[in-house]
Structure 1
Amino acid sequence: MRRAGRGFTLVELVMVMMIIGILAAVVGPRFFDRKVFDERLFYEESLAAVRYGQKLAVASGCPIRAIVNDAGYSLSYAAPCGGMAQDSPVANPSGGDFAQGNLQEVDVGNPGLNVIFDWLGTATGANTVSFAGNAFSFTVHLGTGFIEATP
């Protein structure tokens, strides 16, 4: 007697390929939605800018204003200091101004963030900003200047 060969039938292979094709068409785009990545990127850049502004205020002794809103984020001097005029932009370490527009049009919760850090790193002004319909947010605690990010 001949023993049956081991393997898959043509019908089984076609069914598996159809299932994989359906999954690729339905589930695949969810894994490659660029909007989620753009929202997270803008959130992380904004958070890094605010933290840099706080560190710069402590290191230089100059009050630094950090603004995050629908237009983007920016750092500027909150008062005349070290030859810099009030509201003049902070220089980016790689050149240019430390500011970035909201190129991906990420939804930033109103009114946004407008904080001034003093030479001790403590904060005054509005203290919470949310991104992408509250999917991401960070809070600058008044007085202490502690920056709490979620998630």
Structure 2
Amino acid sequence: MDRFQRGFTIVELILVTVIIGILAAVVGPRFFTKRNFDERFYFEEVLSTVRYAQKLAVASGCYIQVQVSASGAALSYSNDCGAKGSGETVPGDYAVANPQQVKKVGSAPFTVVFNSLGCVSTTEFCPVQGIDELEIGESGFKMKIHRATGFIEVSP
């Protein structure tokens, strides 16, 4: 035998392959379940709904209310805004349904009202401080809305 030969034996290669196979069978499903994707998708839809409500409030000058509950999210007018009555839904019946896989939706119902300045307030003035926080799903997707500025902070 040549003293410069190097490499792995067949036993070592088979052992490593078996260990990788066991890890893939046990750990793999935890990372790739449908529920994780549903939670992330629902969180993104709710985030888009909140951002749309804020932009609609600034553009229309009306108070727009966002309500997120266990059944989904919906937008409505919060005050008498022209011909629109209080509680009337936003044109286009803007609502997001919650898929059945997303069990945990923060402290439902979660409600915020955006004014014409884009901050969270039911008056024409923005509050000095405060944060409204919503957590969706068991993976811990969080959305924080700063009342004074209307800034929407997202993690992770």
Taking structure 1 as the reference length, the TM-score comes to 0.78
User: What SS class does the counterpart of residue 28 from structure 1 fall into?
Assistant: helix
1:94-113 alignment runs, 5 A limit:
96-103=92-99, 104-113=101-110
Query: 2:151 maps to which residue?
Result: 146
Q: 1:3-36, CA deviations, whole angstroms, 9 ceiling, x for partnerless residues?
A: 8x99877655544543343222112212312222
Confirm whether residue 42 of structure 1 aligns to residue 42 of structure 2.
yes
Give the deviation of 1:80 after TM superposition: 2.5
Query: 1:57 maps to which residue?
Result: 57
Between the aligned partners of 1:80 and 1:69, the Cα distance in structure 2 is 24
Whether contact under 8 Å (2:133, 2:143) holds in the other structure is yes
Letter in 2 for 1:127: D
Between the aligned partners of 1:134 and 1:26, the Cα distance in structure 2 is 19
Query: 1:117 maps to which residue?
Result: 114
Whether contact under 8 Å (1:109, 1:134) holds in the other structure is no
1:16-31 alignment runs, 5 A limit:
16-31=16-31
Between the aligned partners of 2:36 and 2:83, the Cα distance in structure 1 is 41
- Pairwise CA RMSD: 2.7
User: What SS class does the counterpart of residue 114 from structure 1 fall into?
Assistant: strand
User: What SS class does the counterpart of residue 137 from structure 1 fall into?
Assistant: strand
Q: 1:22-59, CA deviations, whole angstroms, 9 ceiling, x for partnerless residues?
A: 22211221231222222122112111111110000001
Whether contact under 8 Å (2:39, 2:136) holds in the other structure is yes
CA gap 1:56/1:18 in 2 versus in 1, 3 angstroms: same
Q: 1:76-98, CA deviations, whole angstroms, 9 ceiling, x for partnerless residues?
A: 1112224322212113xxxx421
Structure 1: stretches of 5+ with no match in the other structure: none
Q: Which runs of 4+ in 1 moved over 3 A?
A: 5-17
Between the aligned partners of 2:21 and 2:7, the Cα distance in structure 1 is 22
1:123-138 alignment runs, 5 A limit:
123-124=120-121, 127-133=132-138, 135-138=140-143
Query: 1:90 maps to which residue?
Result: 90
Structure 2: stretches of 5+ with no match in the other structure: 123-130
Overall identity of the aligned pairs, in %:
48
